[in-house]
Structure 1
Amino acid sequence: MTRTQPPQAPSRSRRLLLRLVAIIVALVVWHLFAIGPGSSSGFPTPADLLSEARDVVPTGEYWGNIATSVQTALLGLALATLVGLPLGLLIGSNEATRRSTQLVIDFGRTVPAIALLPLFLLLFGATRTLGVVLILVSAVWPVIIQTSYAVGQISPQLKRVGRAYHLSRWHRLRYIVAPSMFPFVFAGLRIAATISLLMAISSEFLGGTDGLGYLLLQAMQLNDVDRAFLFAFSAALLGLVLNLLFVLLQRRVLWWHSSVRTGDAL
């Protein structure tokens, strides 16, 4: 009887080659669309976008507004984490609490934060506080949900072991709860980080405050399609870089976890 071998994961060089091929294909499709169906609406080609980037990217205004967007996103993400982690721990540690708060969490996470923008504009004006509050009310839910789920799924056997060895509350949190919940928490933080950047740029675009969203708004008002695409592309790259940073942080903190050792954290 022959034993089937599990499929081997592609090597790192092969994965890089496949990603490079995918990027080349995407650029070719983009170029063909820009010179074809998209030419009537002024859709820029990759060469047009590169030419615009050579003029805009070296300027201090560009980097200053990007720094503003990143600072707003990180500040809002930090507040969402500080609020979401303790709430998630509190909710997940008790089954009755988890069931009683389920309706509130389901309602809160489905409310679009952008719908609250007019109210927040009246309360906070077109300031950075507006963006931070929008991020908080939208990015806190993934942190709460993932943390509460992580605490709730901890093995009862591990909890009994902690009680049998008379571990203190701090030691149970450090050696039992934290290792079990960190993989889920990092998943929630990566989702929250993406939402934070999206809300930061959206608040700048709709509220007219400094940042990458405001640059995008100016380009649209001037009907500068190439520049608008450049700023939209910059926002996408920021999201990619932010996600990569969280992946690297996850690999460093969760070096012992199977998803990191097998490369599934990407």
Structure 2
Amino acid sequence: MTRTKPSQAPSPVRRLAYRVLAILVALVVWHLFATGPGGSSDFPTPLDIFEAGADAVPTQDFWANIATSLRTAVTGLALVVLVGLPVGLLIGSNEITRRSTQLVLDFGRTVPAIALLPLFLLVFGAGRTLGVVLILVSAVWPIIIQTSYAVGQISPQLKRVGRAYHLSRWYRLRFIVAPSMLPFVFAGLRIAATIALLMAISSEFLGGSDGLGYTLLQAMQLNDTDRAFLYAFTAATLGLLLNLFFVLLQRRVLWWHSSVRAGGTS
């Protein structure tokens, strides 16, 4: 009887090599498409994007627009956390409240915030406030839902232990509620961060305020496809870096959790 060896995870060097190879294959396919079927529509090649980046990256406007979009996204995300965490705790701590608000949460998270943009433009005008409001309306739901679900899933035995030892509300929140809910909260936070950046850039694109979205709009209006692709990829890169930041933060805070030890947040 032959014994099968357990599958081993690839080494970090091999994982990096696989990712680099995938990127190279994607670039080759992109170049072949741009020089072939996409040539008739001025579809830029990777070299065209690189040349546009070489011209734009050293300029102050490029980094100023990135900083503007990031400020809007971070401001909106901070407001989302300040609103979403308390509301999620309040909903999840009571079974009746959780059941009675289920329909409201399901309805709220399915409403596209972009559909409310004309109304928000009339009320708040074009600017950072518009982006922050869009972020709050669209990104608060993952935080509320994940937090309320996490609080509702806390073991009844842990709750009874806290009451039996007459722990104060603060101690129960810190040593029972927080460790149980943090993995769920981080999952909602990563989703909310992606939505926040998307809404910040969308508000600049549709509202005409400064930022990456507005520079993308200008490039499209001038039919400058090279710069348009450059700004689009810049926004995608910011999204990846933002997600990476929260992955590293989650590993730092939840180093003791099984999902982090097993590499589940990578």
TM-score (norm 1): 0.97
| Unaligned 5+ runs, structure 2 | none
Partner Cα distance (2:125, 2:59) in 1: 28
Partner Cα distance (1:115, 1:93) in 2: 32
| Residue deviations 1:31-77 (CA, integer Å, cap 9, x gap) | 11111111111111111100110001110011001100000000000
Q: Does 1:71 align with 2:60?
A: no
| Residue deviations 1:82-121 (CA, integer Å, cap 9, x gap) | 0000000000111100000000001110000000000000
Question: 2:34 aligns to what?
Answer: 34
Partner Cα distance (2:8, 2:186) in 1: 27
Partner Cα distance (1:24, 1:47) in 2: 13
One-letter code aligned to 1:57:
V
Question: 1:213 aligns to what?
Answer: 213
Question: 1:167 aligns to what?
Answer: 167
Q: Does 1:104 align with 2:104?
A: yes
Question: 1:87 aligns to what?
Answer: 87
Q: Which moved more, 1:162-171 or 1:119-128?
A: 162-171
Partner Cα distance (2:236, 2:127) in 1: 23
| Residue deviations 1:182-204 (CA, integer Å, cap 9, x gap) | 00000000000000000000000
SS of alignment partner, residue 264 of structure 1: coil
Question: 1:244 aligns to what?
Answer: 244
One-letter code aligned to 1:114:
I
- Residue 29 (structure 1) shift: 0.9
TM-score (norm 2): 0.97
| Residue deviations 1:196-239 (CA, integer Å, cap 9, x gap) | 00000000000000000000000011010101000001000000
Q: Percent same amino acid at aligned positions?
A: 80
Partner Cα distance (1:151, 1:99) in 2: 13
Aligned length: 266
One-letter code aligned to 1:195:
I
Q: 1:170 to 1:4 in 2, by over 3 A?
A: farther
* Runs ≥4 residues deviating over 6 A: none
One-letter code aligned to 1:116:
L
- Residue 4 (structure 1) shift: 5.4
Question: 1:59 aligns to what?
Answer: 59
Question: 2:8 aligns to what?
Answer: 8
Q: Does 1:180 align with 2:180?
A: yes
Question: 1:154 aligns to what?
Answer: 154
Partner Cα distance (1:210, 1:64) in 2: 9
Q: Does 1:253 align with 2:266?
A: no
